[in-house]
Amino acid sequence: MKLKLVLAAVAMSALFASCGGEKKEEKKDKVTLGSQKPAPTKDANAVNLALAGNDQMRFDKDEFTVQSGQEVTLTLRHVGKIDIDVMGHNFVLLKKGVNIPAFSAKAAAAGKSNDWIPEDDKDVIVHSKMIGGGQSTSITFTAPEPGTYDFICSFPGHSGLMKGKFIVK
């Protein structure tokens, strides 16, 4: 009988504890109408482009289209792991009509100390610095007059595979 009384007392204590005692406060997020942050404005005269090169001597894109006069920011990422001295990559935008094999030969002769860019630079609109595995770099430039331009990687032996078209409307 004592056991039944003890159990009943424990049950009653539990019941009273759950009914009374401290109240749990629910935290609710307050919403104020009109408090939304304004969306960032997009500059119609600016464009961001991304290009990746890998250890298999390939760019992930072979064509870009922009508007003449647009401010272009191109970010080049080397998604491979091989060092810059063995598998360096860059982005070189060539002027119209430049012969890629002839330019590549001049770039190879320019050497590592010049980032594989000929010193006279007369065939180049813009170029990034050379990067190795895991690195990235960005360049910003104004898109040239309308036309189709070639872009390449000027590291020796890469321009045959790492190339594409840069179309300006």
CATH code assigned at 58: 2.60.40.420
Instruction: Evaluate whether 21 touches 46 at the Cβ level (below 8 Å).
Output: no
Domain hosting residue 81, numbered range:
46-168
| Cα gap 149→144, rounded to integer Å | 9
| Cα gap 128→106, rounded to integer Å | 17
What does DSSP say about strands 46-53 and 71-78: parallel, antiparallel, or unpaired?
parallel
pLDDT in tens, the chain (169 residues): 554 544 445 455 544 455 554 444 554 544 445 445 544 445 668 999 999 999 999 999 999 999 999 999 999 999 999 999 999 999 999 999 999 999 999 999 999 999 999 988 799 999 999 999 999 999 999 999 999 999 999 999 999 999 999 999 9
Q: Which residues contact 109 (CB under 8 A, 6 or more apart)?
A: 118
Q: What predicted TM-score, i.e. pTM, was given to this entire model?
A: 0.74
- Tell me, yes or no, whether 87 lies in a domain: yes
- Tell me, yes or no, whether 19 lies in a domain: no
- Tell me, yes or no, whether 41 lies in a domain: no
